[in-house]
């Protein structure tokens, strides 16, 4: 029973917050602000490619969610997430490009395309096929990594897709602007495709109060998905594969049916306990959600790499100052790989209910909310790439097994 409410960000735009029962999910916008960052090139695993829009029986496509606010002074959001990770006990979660001054002040400044170029290398070494960018207006700092990625001359085979909060389409007189922007992205050569060359799009659809204000009913919102399909097909991009994200599978399926989407998923797996629940409980919760998903609709399983918003509890963020004190213990690299392996086996076991043969990970860079695959800053000052290594070994094993 997620509820949705809005607040205004520093640029006057609406930004989301979500609540699922007692747990509230807030997207931690990570962004990158400028400093001279030492780029670290690793050589432990070469990037590799898997077939896009894979055939039945081939390894699934695996993507990870990006929520890009690690940009320090570029916004109040960037400043806030710098502060959440300033306490020493959370320094192990700092992104690999962060700096800690001699006085203990944390600086997370990665608004440099070279930082993103290095992250592309890490993503490919982890075996990722694509990033799913939470999408904001193009003049918003939260869009900088997406725009840089689109312009890179080489992305080393890494693809991308979009996650769009459904209220961002606006009402009947406004929705075509975002539709046209998405179709432009669909036609980009790096856009990821599934199900016979269909561009993949995640529709983040939690509480519907704002949609009802904009459209009057969820059924009326179907005009957005119909317009999007018509424009995409007319411009040669193909019929988008639209995946409705909601924290409750039953509600996701209702939304999927009402708005004319194709499948369901979720943004994250939230929960835990006040003392920190073990990985075994997190994995059990994931498996339960996957089973519920396929019972209601075709699914793109969500794999969690953690949930621990304590940095935001200790240093409240302005957009949601009252996180419930529930979290899971930090996953080890081996446990992250185990969760992903379980998802791959689930998709293999249920190909008819997971027809896109795709998995989405929470998350690439939700450092202060508790889910990350991106390397962090090690105690020795070097990138901690252990999660990248563990995930890469797992995905390579499936690739080689197929061959």
Token pair belonging to 127: 């075996």
**349's tokens:** 């076991």
Q: What is the DSSP letter of 275?
A: T
Tokens (6 digits) for 225: 């998905």
Structure tokens at 222: 């179907």
How many Å separate Cα 232 from the centre of its chain? 23
Can you tell me the distance from the alpha carbon of 326 to that of 20, in angstroms, rounded to the nearest whole number?
A: 12
- Residue 366, SS3? strand
Comparing CA positions, the residue from 182, 286, 294 lying closest to residue 241 is: 182
Give the chain's end-to-end CA distance (angstroms, integer): 43
* pLDDT tens, position by position, 164-218: 999 999 999 999 999 999 999 999 999 999 998 999 999 999 889 999 999 999 9
pLDDT value of position 54 = 57
pLDDT higher for 19 or 144?
A: 144
Fold of 18-39+56-402: TIM Barrel (3.20.20)
Quote the tokens at residue 288.
Answer: 């339960």
Residue-wise pLDDT tens digits, 273-285: 999 999 999 999 9
pLDDT for res 332: 98
- CA distance linking residue 48 with residue 163, whole number of Å: 25
Q: Where are the beta strands (DSSP E) in 39-171?
A: 61-66, 99-100, 106-107, 130-134, 159-165
Alpha-carbon radius of gyration of the chain: 19
pLDDT, residue 399, reads 80
Sign for the CA dihedral angle at 40, 144, 28, 262 comes to negative
Q: How do the domains of the chain map onto residue ranges? A: 18-39+56-402
For residues 365-389, give the mean pLDDT.
97
* Residue 45: closest CA among 401, 402, 400, 359: 400
Predicted confidence (pLDDT) per residue in 149-168, tens digit: 999 999 999 999 999 999 99
Average pLDDT, the chain: 88
User: Tokens in use for 343?
Assistant: 């998802």
pTM for the full predicted model: 0.88
The pLDDT of 47-66, averaged and rounded, is 73
């Amino acid at each position: 029973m997620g509820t949705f409410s809005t607040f205004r960000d520093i640029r006057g735009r609406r930004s989301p917050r979500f609540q699922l029962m007692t747990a509230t999910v807030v997207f931690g916008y990570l962004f990158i602000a400028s400093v001279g960052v030492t780029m670290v090139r690793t050589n432990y695993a070469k990037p590799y490619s898997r077939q896009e829009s894979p055939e039945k029986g081939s390894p699934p496509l695996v993507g990870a969610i990006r929520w890009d606010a690690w940009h320090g002074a570029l916004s109040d959001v960037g400043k806030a997430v710098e502060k959440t990770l300033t306490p020493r006990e959370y320094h192990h979660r700092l992104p690999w490009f962060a700096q800690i001054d001699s006085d203990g002040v944390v600086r997370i400044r990665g608004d440099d395309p070279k930082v993103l170029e290095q992250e592309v290398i890490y993503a490919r070494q982890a075996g990722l096929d694509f990033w799913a960018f939470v999408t904001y207006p193009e003049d918003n700092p939260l869009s900088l990594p997406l725009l840089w990625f689109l312009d890179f001359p080489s992305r080393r085979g890494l693809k991308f897709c979009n996650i769009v909060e459904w209220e961002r389409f606006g009402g009947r007189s406004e929705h075509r602007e975002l539709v046209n922007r998405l179709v432009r992205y669909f036609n980009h050569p790096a856009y990821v495709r599934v199900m016979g060359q269909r561009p993949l799009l995640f529709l983040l659809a939690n509480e519907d109060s704002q949609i009802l204000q904009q459209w009057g009913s969820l059924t009326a919102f179907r005009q957005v998905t119909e317009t999007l399909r018509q424009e995409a097909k007319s411009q040669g991009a193909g019929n988008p594969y639209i995946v409705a994200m909601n924290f409750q599978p039953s509600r996701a399926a209702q939304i999927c049916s009402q708005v004319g989407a194709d499948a369901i998923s979720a943004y994250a797996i939230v929960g835990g306990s006040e003392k920190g629940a073990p990985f075994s409980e997190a994995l059990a919760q994931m498996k339960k959600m996957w089973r519920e998903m396929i019972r209601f609709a075709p699914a793109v399983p969500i794999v969690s790499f953690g949930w621990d918003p304590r940095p935001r509890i200790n240093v409240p963020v302005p957009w949601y100052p009252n996180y419930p004190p529930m979290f899971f213990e930090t996953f080890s690299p081996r446990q992250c790989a185990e969760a992903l392996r379980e998802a791959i086996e689930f998709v293999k076991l249920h190909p008819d209910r997971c027809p896109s043969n795709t998995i989405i990970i929470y998350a690439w860079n939700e450092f202060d909310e508790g889910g990350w695959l991106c390397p962090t800053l090690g105690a020795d000052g070097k990138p901690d790439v252990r999660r990248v290594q563990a995930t890469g070994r797992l995905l390579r094993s499936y690739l080689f097994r197929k061959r």
